Amino acid sequence: MNALDIDPVVDDSRAEAWRQVHNLIIPTALLTAEEVRERRSRNRLFVAHVAGEVVGCSTVRPPAAGEGVATVIARVLPDRRRRGYGTALYTHGLAVARRLGAETVETVVLGSNAEGLEFARARGFVEVETYLLPGDTVPFVDLRLAQD
């Protein structure tokens, strides 16, 4: 297996790669390039690739001042799952969140993404809330790392 590289989204090319993975995995909340630029200004975004081919992306939402809660999201393209990429992205994101001061870690998964929910639960996350965005029919599931 080739090594997984995880790079920060620092330019429009990586932002577009991140957006494409996000939009494939979260088809109910498609993002524009401008929306990704805005997210990049407040979150840490990363793109994962193997031998130059994009296999996933991740997001770390830093803790708000005085709150200590960060969100770590790992996304792997469906045809690239079950190869350790999600674990590597999650481990990387968790380390970034801890460096940013996270005391508690949460994640969010689209309710129809059974593999994503299974992945989160296998790492110790427990459901804390399910919600629908306006106009949506598929809920998002917020989960919290139980050890925190």
Render pLDDT for 34-59 as a digit per residue (tens, 0 to 9): 999 999 999 999 999 999 999 999 99
Residue 147: is its pLDDT beyond 80?
A: no
- Cα→Cα distances 2→21, 51, 83, 91, 103, Å: 20, 7, 11, 18, 33
- Could you state, in order of their start, the residue ranges of all structural domains in the chain? 4-105
**For residue range 116-134, what is the model confidence (pLDDT) as tens digits?**
999 999 999 999 999 998 8
Instruction: Name the more confident of 137 and 10.
Output: 10
- Percent of the chain past pLDDT 90, that is, above it, reads 89
4-105 CATH pick, 1.10.3720.10, 2.60.120.10, 1.10.287.40, 3.40.630.30: 3.40.630.30
Note the pLDDT of residue 1. Answer: 54
Give the pLDDT band of residue 71 (cuts 50, 70, 90).
very high
- Cα→Cα distances 140→62, 77, 128, 131, 133, Å: 20, 18, 11, 5, 8
CA 44 to chain centroid: 10
Nearest Cα neighbor of 74 from 50, 48, 49 is 48
